[in-house]
Amino acid sequence: MQGSIAKPPSKLATVLRVTSGNFLEMFDFFLYGFYASYIAKAFFPSGNEYASLMLTFATFGAGFLMRPVGAVILGSYIDRIGRSKGLVLTLAIMAIGTVLIAFVPSYDSIGILAPFLVLIGRLLQGFSAGVELGGVSVYLSEMATPGRKGFYVSWQSASQQAAIMAAAIIGYGLNQVLAPEQIHDWGWRVPFFIGCLIVPVIFVIRRSLQETDEFLARKHHPTFKEIVLSIAMNWRLVLAGMMMVVMTTVSFYLITVYTPTYGRNVLKLDGADSLLLTFCVGLSNFFWLPVMGALSDKVGRRPLLLAFTILPILTAYPMLNWLVNDISFQNMLIAELWLSFMYASYNAAALVALTEVMPPQVRTVGFSLAYSLATALFGGFTPLISTWLIEVTGDKAAPGLWMAGAAFCGLISVLMLYRRDGVTMRAWAKA
């Protein structure tokens, strides 16, 4: 009697397995942004609230500086050893950073060691995240049904929106059952503890990932030296890819991580309202990402990328200016949903485009390096820059200018990467 042949996992099961690590990454990142003011008082005490918040967001941004390092080191590992093994490694490193931030005692308990350990946790998370998004996007693009890459790759970002919604629900629940003093003292740590409990589950799920057929079909897997040389030879692709991602990463951190702080500290909305707004933004993103990813499969990447760089240039600042002149929960919801629509529509086309323009032999490291450079230099510091812009200009709508500038970078990159004759910069790639 012959043994039965194991049935390959469904596409849905594979998508869930590969995007699970993204869920954890964004769950923790969002928590840091929402509880920034509490973290500032716990680890970065200062007589000046603005200074404490700036130190907190600087530490948040410092993690992004490790992303390019992780992109090159871990990205080359994934391109050389395999997609599935690399994604398990990134999850392990990310988990260590999450545990550190959750359990570090306050400044009052251990002094200067507290902010130092928080910084180490952020650096480890940044090192891992430098390739997490790229590794997942490449995996999804290589396992996608032909002609549907945009739809499949969009679920990488959609999984992050699910994490944002989950974190917002937990935060909203804490606001309902705990007094403000309890949240300030210890309650803000509870969601981080929950994130630690999720880690073992995700680790088991991700260990079952199978290698992609496209990677297994390759006869040559480049060495670390070959990968670095190839990236150096294709620096124009990396630069153009980085400019493309600036719009994605700036707008994402503006409408998700920074929104709770913006609503509570700048617009003086209730903390629970800020969380509800963020949940609505996550839900909007979750809807639009796969819809627009599928649309990019039908009409092409270039039309969507052009449309949704021009729209933010024209409307991002006017929308926030309208909001700050008539502050209310309803108006902020309208403004955030509009920014969400522009972000999700652009991102759905941009990420799959980045997997397509990179040479296959360095696809993960090329994608990850372009994305991590954009995040490290621009997106990751969006909360910090937004806080600074409002302080120096006195204009509460100033973050809209930052988003418009990011959209302009995206527009230039689209014109560089996609010619009217249909030729992409990928044609210039050097082996």
Kindly tell me if the per-residue pLDDT of 31 is higher than 80. no
Residue 184 lies in a domain: yes
The alpha carbon of 240 is separated from its chain's Cα centroid by a whole number of angstroms, namely 19
Closest alpha carbon to 83 in 363, 325, 271: 363
Give the pLDDT confidence score for residue 303 in this predicted structure. 94
pTM metric for this prediction: 0.80
Range ranked top by mean pLDDT from 12-21, 28-37, 145-154, 338-347: 338-347
Q: For residues 424 and 331, what is the distance between their CA atoms, to the nearest angstrom? A: 40
* Confidence (pLDDT) at 322: 95
Is residue 5 pLDDT above 90, yes or no?
no
Report how far residue 90's alpha carbon sits from residue 366's, in angstroms, rounded to the nearest whole number.
17
**Residue 62: CB partners within 8 Å, gap ≥ 6?**
119, 122, 123, 126
Would residue 217 count as lying in a domain? Answer: no
Does the pLDDT value for residue 1 go beyond 50?
A: no
- Rounded to 5 degrees, φ, ψ at 424 are -100, 165
Selection from 16, 20, 25 nearest residue 257 by Cα:
25
More confident call, 415 vs 21: 415
Cα–Cα dist 47/37, whole Å:
13
- Nearest residue to 300 (alpha-carbon basis) of 169, 149, 112, 187: 149
Q: Is residue 379 part of a domain?
A: yes
Contact 283, 268 (CB under 8 A): no
- Average pLDDT value for residue range 36-46: 74
Here the CATH number for the domain that contains residue 21 is 1.20.1250.20
Quick: pLDDT tens for 290-314.
Answer: 999 999 999 999 999 999 999 999 9
pLDDT of residue 261: 74
pLDDT digits (tens, 9 = 90+) for 84-127: 777 778 888 888 887 887 888 888 888 888 888 888 888 888 88
167-209 pLDDT per residue, tens? 888 888 888 888 888 888 888 888 888 888 888 887 787 777 7
Which of the two residues, 257 and 181, has the higher pLDDT score?
Answer: 181
Specify the number of domains making up the chain: 1
105, part of any domain:
yes
User: Identity (one letter) of the amino acid at 309?
Assistant: T
Q: CB-based contacts of 108: which residues, under 8 Å, 6+ apart?
A: 45
Report residue 428's pLDDT band, with 50, 70 and 90 as the boundaries. Answer: very low
What is the average pLDDT across 406-417? 94
Q: Structure tokens of 250?
A: 């700036």
Q: Please state, rounded to an integer, the average pLDDT across all residues of the chain.
A: 82
The CA dihedral of 300, 302, 304, 308, to the nearest 10 degrees, is: 170
Whole-angstrom distance between the N-terminal and C-terminal Cα of the chain?
Answer: 49
382 part of a folded domain: yes
Task: Answer whether residue 6 is part of any domain.
Answer: no
Which letter does DSSP use for residue 326 in this model? Answer: S
The pLDDT-based confidence of 7 (bands split at 50, 70, 90) is: low
Domain holding 174, by residue range, is 11-210+222-428
For 34-58, give the secondary structure using H, E and C: HCHHHHHHHHCCCCCHHHHHHHHHH
The answer to whether position 117 is within a domain reads yes
Residue 420 has pLDDT above 70, yes or no: no
Looking at residue 196, the DSSP 8-state letter turns out to be H
* Alpha-helix runs per DSSP H in 106-189: 107-110, 113-143, 149-177, 180-185
Residue from 131, 137, 128, 132 nearest 15 by CA? 137
Does 53 reside within a domain? yes
